[in-house]
């Protein structure tokens, strides 16, 4: 019987480990995708502000007249990528492309595409100014903070999942422990402990020897040791 329980426990632990690895891999892929999207938006923002920020429809001709052919192409592509990657402007996919069927667009075509995008999206000066407010002052520190926050959220979700699994394991093992409370000795559990007279809180600990025996399992008193304190606890400690 003990060997069967040990084998079942090992299979369960292996399954839990595989599930946790899959969840971690999924979280890592999502984080990489989000980071890639952030990098794309940052690059598009830096490029567009090299040429005075997002242009309005009335500014297109004025801005282009100030640039040579090479810079004009770079500026038009920067404007189109900004509308695609940052503002998510409306328009057919081909309007935002640099070429079609392997043929690079001319300046005139790129300009006409930009004008069409601006017309389709209302050419709102207020929206452009709002985009500038968001993007000009968003530096790498802010982006790093976003990444840290997402990592923290993933860790919290994994921790909640771990606690749910531990709670399930505790419920499944409860009948066995009620039949033989001494099996708790040596196990890690959560137990309530009051530090320096404060409100009781749950702390991890290790079950020590039985301090008081009883015919009723829930009245058996154990010695509990942890980093916070050493105390006694009845069978009801969460294992």
How many whole angstroms separate alpha carbon 56 and alpha carbon 158? 46
pLDDT, tens only, 124-180: 444 555 554 444 444 555 556 666 676 677 677 777 777 777 667 666 655 655 666
d(CA 129, CA 54): 9
Is 189's pLDDT higher than 70?
yes
Task: Identify the burial level of 186 via C-beta atoms within 10 angstroms of its C-beta, where 0-12 means exposed, 13-18 middle and 19 or more buried.
Answer: exposed
Judgement on whether residues 196 and 132 belong to the same structural domain of the protein: no
| Cα distance between residue 66 and residue 78, in whole Å | 16
Q: Domain end: 123, 138, 153, which one? A: 138
**pLDDT, tens digit (0-9, with 9 covering 90-100), for 204-220:** 777 777 767 666 666 67
In a domain, 30, yes or no: no
d(CA 79, CA 129): 14
Question: Mean pLDDT over all residues of the chain?
Answer: 76
Short-list 191, 195, 41, 59, CA closest to 115: 59
Domain-embedded: residue 159: no
- Pick the closest to residue 76 from 101, 90, 96 (CA basis): 96
28 in any annotated domain: no
C-alpha atoms less than 13 angstroms from C-alpha of 209 in its C-beta half-sphere? 1
d(CA 6, CA 180): 16
The reply to whether 68 falls in a domain is yes
- Give domain status of residue 102, yes or no: yes
C-alpha–C-alpha distance, residues 90 and 213, integer Å: 74
CATH code of the domain in which 237 resides: 2.30.30
Total-model pTM: 0.46
Q: How many C-beta atoms lie closer than 10 Å to residue 217's C-beta?
A: 16
Point out the domain boundary residue: 103, 122, 138: 138
In a domain, 217, yes or no: yes
Tell whether 116 is covered by a domain. Answer: yes
Q: What is the span of the domain harbouring residue 216?
A: 181-239
User: What is the rounded radius of gyration, in angstroms, for the C-alpha atoms of the chain?
Assistant: 31
Angle at which helix 107-120 crosses helix 69-85, to 10 degrees, equals 30
Residues 56-65: tens digit of each pLDDT? 999 999 999 9
Q: Are residues 65 and 124 in the same domain?
A: yes
Predicted confidence (pLDDT) per residue in 103-127, tens digit: 999 999 999 999 999 998 876 444 5
Domain stops at, among 138, 173, 208: 138
- Classify residue 185: in a domain, yes or no: yes
Q: Which of 178, 164, 171, 169 is nearest to 235 (CA)?
A: 178
d(CA 159, CA 161): 5
How many structural domains comprise the chain?
Answer: 2
Strands 103-104 and 230-234: unpaired
Task: Please check whether residue 204 is in contact with residue 226, taking contact to mean a CB–CB distance below 8 angstroms.
Answer: yes
Q: Looking at the structure, tell me whether residues 134 and 185 fall in a common domain.
A: no
């Amino acid at each position: 019987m003990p060997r069967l329980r040990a084998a079942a426990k090992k299979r369960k632990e292996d399954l839990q480990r595989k599930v946790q690895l899959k969840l971690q891999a999924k979280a890592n892929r999502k984080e990489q995708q989000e980071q890639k999207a952030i990098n794309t938006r940052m690059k598009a923002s830096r490029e567009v502000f090299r040429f005075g920020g997002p242009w309005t429809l009335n500014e297109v001709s004025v801005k282009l007249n100030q640039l040579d052919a090479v810079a004009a192409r770079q500026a038009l592509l920067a404007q189109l990528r900004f509308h695609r990657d940052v503002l998510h402007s409306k328009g057919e996919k081909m309007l935002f492309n640099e070429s079609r069927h392997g043929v690079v667009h001319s300046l005139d075509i790129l300009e006409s595409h930009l004008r069409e995008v601006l017309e389709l999206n209302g050419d709102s000066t207020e929206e452009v100014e709002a985009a500038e407010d968001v993007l000009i002052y968003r530096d790498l520190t802010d982006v790093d903070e976003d990444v840290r926050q997402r990592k923290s959220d993933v860790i919290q979700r994994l921790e909640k999942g771990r606690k749910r699994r531990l709670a399930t394991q505790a419920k499944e093992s409860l009948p066995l422990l009620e039949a033989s409370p001494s099996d708790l000795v040596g196990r890690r559990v959560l137990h309530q402990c009051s530090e320096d007279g404060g409100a009781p809180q749950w702390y991890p600990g290790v079950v020590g020897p039985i301090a008081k025996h009883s015919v009723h399992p829930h009245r058996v008193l154990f010695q509990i040791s942890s980093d916070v304190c050493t105390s006694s606890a009845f069978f009801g400690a969460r294992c």
